[in-house]
Structure 1
Amino acid sequence: MRLCATLAVSALSLALVTGCSDGGSKDSPEGKGADAAKPAAKALSAAELKRLILAKGDVTGYKVEPVEGGTPAKSKVKAADAQCDPLLRVMTGIAPGTPAAETNRAVQEVKKAPTDKATSMDDLADGKFEDTFKDSMDIDTTMVILSSYDGDGARQALRSVSDAMKACAGGFTGDQAGDKAKFTRVAEERPADAGDESVAFMATSDMEDGDTAPVHVQVVRHGNNVASYMTINLGAMMTEKAYSVPAAVVKAQAAKLK
């Protein structure tokens, strides 16, 4: 896949993160009976969420940093079909539903330093530079959004994403704070085993050169809190290698919410 085509995919989402079943859901967004009977807890504050979100040293093999530049206002991220708003917004770093508070972090895989000799000019002539470049870009980068809700807000937030996955399976277009977005397919995926209920999907863009570029998302409810994960891997996009939201990242965040 050509680099220019890759960078065209969900441009704002990429910039935000990098600084530049059986049927897919673990449980139905309707929730389990015993859990549904529990009284709704009060939402956590932004300060409390910042203590609970992933931090440096929480995930082996990954670095955790603040999201550079912040996220756009919810009102500036809209799909042409309003039913698809929850998908476009979570891919832009905006928590689903109407949270009382939210915070986020960028979690990037740390690759081991290469042990072979530096690439020579002869290697460049042989086309090895391109392979080396693609390998250097083969890094999972995940935006983690932690949000908290009053009342039944967390359930409703997860349900909005689940409903949008079904309504927008054939693709959708939208505007991400001035950047046009076009996804041709939304496919349900199996989420990690975490939280009270969860959903996951892959949104795919078809590039002008015929290549495809997938973005992977998981949304997990932990009581009245929701952890959302949006992962991109430019190197995998270029080589068409399969990738997903890193299970280690989801597991580490879930452990902090128990």
Structure 2
Amino acid sequence: MKVRTTVVAAGTLVLCLAAAGCGPDDGGGKGAGGKATASQTPAAGSGAESTAAAPGAGSAPAPMPTSHGRTLTEAELAKVVLTTDEVPGYAIAPLEGTDERGTEEPEDEACRPIAAIINGSPEPAPAATVFRTATDTAEEGKDDQTVVTEILTSHPKGGAEELLRSVRDAVRDCADGFRTTSEDGPSTYTEVRTLPAAEAGQESFAYQVTGSLAGARVPLVFHLVRTGSTVVTFYAADFLTARTPEVPAALVTAQAAKLP
């Protein structure tokens, strides 16, 4: 069976490690659950960079959206998260088992913001969090059905901006990869790089973290969007082809449009 995973297996938010054992050839995978999209973007290290352009590239920049900046409660986040039929072709559902988080601890402190998101616990800690999955209904029944994980977090004043800033810095500082340890053992990430990001919200930033599973490359893609004090993190991974997976721009822009 094909296993392209974007959803966090077994309900844990240690996106790759606890879900599928993306550690360095330690032979200890727990098995992946779900699937991810594989785009036509060349894989990192293939000698070609992504040519995917963000929507609106080359045109005049869209006006910056305004926001009341208030820190939303969990109930308020649940009201602004995407729902089924708001993005044609995608079914939205709660992510089960979200009480369990990852325990990845990076050897290099500069990489902590990246590890924190892999753990499903972005830093600084959010005031409220809501989890969803978006599934491509046109691929129903396929082994490689597209499933994207979506995490909405609200933050005290300044926290959302700090989150985006710290992740950007970590992506730059940890470009050559990093190692972590956790309750499940050590893990290796061989590369971190910025990706083109769809224009959305007040800030939009995408990056790839390349893990290792039994010696094979496992690209993990994250797309963060901030509006006011709310951050949306989209996650996709490809455990099958080693190509850079894709977070559909339609999901990103539709979700950003709902943020107050």
Q: Same fold (TM over 0.5)?
A: yes
Q: Which residue of 2 aligns with 1:103?
A: 130
- Asked whether the 8 Å contact 2:114–2:171 carries over to 1, the reply is yes
Q: Which residue of 2 aligns with 1:214?
A: 219
User: In structure 1, what residue type is equivalent to 2:94?
Assistant: P
Secondary structure of 2:245's counterpart equals coil
User: Which deviations, in whole Å up to 9, do the C-alpha atoms of 1:186-210 show, x marking residues without a partner?
Assistant: 011111110111211111124444x
The reply to whether residue 171 of structure 1 matches residue 190 of structure 2 is: no
- Asked whether the 8 Å contact 1:84–1:168 carries over to 2, the reply is yes
User: Which deviations, in whole Å up to 9, do the C-alpha atoms of 1:143-192 show, x marking residues without a partner?
Assistant: 11111122111110111111110111111122455354321000111111
Which residues of structure 2 form unaligned runs of 5+? 4-8, 10-14, 21-30, 36-50, 56-63
Looking at structure 2, the residues matched to 140 and 232 of structure 1 have their Cα atoms a distance apart, in angstroms, of 10
Looking at structure 2, the residues matched to 142 and 179 of structure 1 have their Cα atoms a distance apart, in angstroms, of 26
Looking at structure 2, the residues matched to 40 and 99 of structure 1 have their Cα atoms a distance apart, in angstroms, of 17
Secondary structure of 1:239's counterpart equals coil
Q: Which residue of 1 aligns with 2:81?
A: 53
Q: Which residue of 2 aligns with 1:158?
A: 164
Structure with the higher helix share, 1 or 2: 1
User: In structure 1, what residue type is equivalent to 2:256?
Assistant: A
Q: Which residue of 2 aligns with 1:31?
A: none
The reply to whether residue 18 of structure 1 matches residue 34 of structure 2 is: yes
- Asked whether the 8 Å contact 1:95–1:102 carries over to 2, the reply is no
Deviation at 1:91, TM superposition (A): 2.6
User: In structure 2, what residue type is equivalent to 1:223?
Assistant: G
Looking at structure 2, the residues matched to 40 and 200 of structure 1 have their Cα atoms a distance apart, in angstroms, of 24
- Asked whether the 8 Å contact 1:91–1:217 carries over to 2, the reply is no
Secondary structure of 1:108's counterpart equals strand
TM-score, reference length from structure 2: 0.70
Q: Which residue of 2 aligns with 1:30?
A: none
Secondary structure of 1:192's counterpart equals coil
- Matched ranges for 1:221-240 at <5 A: 221-234=226-239, 238-240=240-242
User: In structure 2, what residue type is equivalent to 1:93?
Assistant: G
Q: Which residue of 2 aligns with 1:130?
A: none
Deviation at 1:217, TM superposition (A): 0.4
2:121 to 94, 100, 107: 94
For these two proteins, the number of residue pairs brought into alignment is: 217
Question: Structure 1 residues 78 and 16, CA, compared in 2 at 3 Å: closer, same or farther?
Answer: farther
Deviation at 1:98, TM superposition (A): 2.4
Question: Structure 1 residues 106 and 180, CA, compared in 2 at 3 Å: closer, same or farther?
Answer: farther
Looking at structure 2, the residues matched to 228 and 177 of structure 1 have their Cα atoms a distance apart, in angstroms, of 24
Deviation at 1:16, TM superposition (A): 9.3
Looking at structure 2, the residues matched to 257 and 39 of structure 1 have their Cα atoms a distance apart, in angstroms, of 8
The reply to whether residue 200 of structure 1 matches residue 206 of structure 2 is: yes
CA RMSD for the aligned pairs?
3.5
Percent of residue pairs bearing the same amino acid type: 29
Q: Which residue of 2 aligns with 1:77?
A: 104
Deviation at 1:227, TM superposition (A): 0.8
